[in-house]
Structures are given as C-alpha cells and as structure tokens.
Chains A and B, each alone.
Chain A
Amino acid sequence: MRQSSTEFGQLLVKAGRGVGLPLGVVEDLIDPVIWLQICGFPGEYEFHTALSALDEGRSEARFPDLLNTDRLTTSGSVSAAYLATGACDLLQLDWPEVGEEVLLSGTESPRLVSAALALSHRLLRREHFLKIVAPDEVFISGPGAEIICVRKEPQHQTPSGSGEKVIRLSTEHSGFDSAGTVLIDRVKEERFFEVCRLKGLCASPDIIAQLKAFSDRLLVPESEHSLKFGAGAGIVDSD
C-alpha cells in the first residue's frame, strides 16, 4: 500500500498517542521508523510491535536505568519506545564509553531501537563509531554521517523464537569490520530516499489498519451538538 511519508508519519504520531505514549517520546520514534521503512525494512511492523506490547501490557512504559549497571544491562520488559528514547538520550553523554560494550536485552523491537540509536548518533556528529549489533543486522554509525547496515551471516543471526532479543552496543575510534550482506550504505541510502521522494513509501495494509485503529482512539465520537456547533458552520453551509 503506497503512502506518503507525511501521511505515514502523522499516522505514527497519532497511533503512538492513541496507545498512550507521551507526544515527546513518539516524536523521537518517527524518524527511525520512517527511515527503516524507506530503507526497505518493515518499520511499520516494528512500530506496531512496540505499540502492541505496550497496549497489551507485555512491556512497561518506563525508562530503563542504563547507567547504573555493570556490563550486562537488562532492559527487562521495558517498552522499545522508552528504551530507544532513553538510550538515544545517553548518546549525548558519550555513552557507552569507548571500548565499553553494553547489552540491551528484552526489547520486543530491537530493530527499532537500533535504528533510533544509529540515527541519533549521526545527528550528534561524533568523531567515533557506534556499533549496534541486533539479532539479525549490524548497524554502524560513523563520523562521516554514513550509516552502514549489514545483514549478519545466517550462522550469526539469532534464531527466531529463541528467546530474548539482545542488542550489543559499543563505540570505537576506528571503524568496525562486520561480515555479511550490506543492506545500507551511503549510496544505497541515497537511492532509497530518492525512491521515497519520487514514489512514496510502501506499507502493509494490515499493519496500517491496525495503526489506524490505535490512532482512532484519539477521535471524539460524533454527537448532535458537536456536529452543529463544533466547526462553527451550519451542517449545510453553502453559498
């Protein structure tokens, strides 16, 4: 189903608010979801997964404490929306330290969190590299504003249904090597964005319908009073 990125973005905001996410948290997720969608990933699915988990109580609407733990950081059942926002904020504090590895586990949408981290790191224009190892892909954000995404070779991917989805986060001054199929680099990303600019996005109609169901929670049911007076014009306003 073809959508404009504007229409898609507005739906994401409304769906997020419909589920009860604070507007400021939703705002931080829009760019990563759209970026995933443009670059050929099922961004709408990732977002819907995060919202559904929140809506059904399978994840918690709280920020994890990512600073006061040792090497292994367990996010528990924290919503990917809050994990992504909290982790992206910490990037501004030069977290994680160079040479340190942080594990974020238990998120229902590791790809959403990974994309958010990669894009946030790019916006910060840091001099070091950030490597984000998700179950199926590796994202690397570097000093030249380039984001590289590599699909891990099958033997390195996390089997589906195998349990917790872990994100490994680390920073280095020099670049990372990562074996696998390059899904996104500077050239590919520009091409994807050009296609989106010219043709829009493709999204799953089923997921769009489910996101719309979330966004419809923001609509106020019709009433006679609202119909007559809410818009300031008569029901049949004509010249």
Chain B
Amino acid sequence: MNNFKKSLTTFLSLFIILSVDAQEATNADIMRSNGKIYVVVAIIVTILTGLFLYVASIDRKLTRLEKEQIKK
C-alpha cells in the first residue's frame, strides 16, 4: 500500500510540475503544437497509467491474501 501511495504521489506531482510548466510556456511549446493533440494524448496516458496502477494495486492485495491463506 505504501508503495502504491508513493508511486501515486510521484505520478501526481509530476503532473503538477508539467502544468506549472505549461502556464509559463509560450504558444510555441510542444503541448500547443499540432492542433493541441498532445493534450489529448497526455490525458489518455494519464488515465491509462492510473488504471494500470489501480489494477496492479488490486493484484498486490490479492497476492498478499493468497500468501496469508497458504500460511494458515
């Protein structure tokens, strides 16, 4: 759980840094080029990463329960 929280916080802070960056940047930066499609890509990658982290955390919880079950 601690590992999961840590990775989530790291991940979220990464996006705060990115968003601060975006406010300061001019119109010529990469996020605003190509019809701003990179914004959509960033959102989809965020959702995908979040979902995978969530599924992985459920996976870890199940593994722990299974190990406890074997010990009994």
Q: Do A and B come from one complex?
A: no
> Which residues in A have some Cβ–Cβ distance to B below 8 Å?
none
> Which residues in B have some Cβ–Cβ distance to A below 8 Å?
none
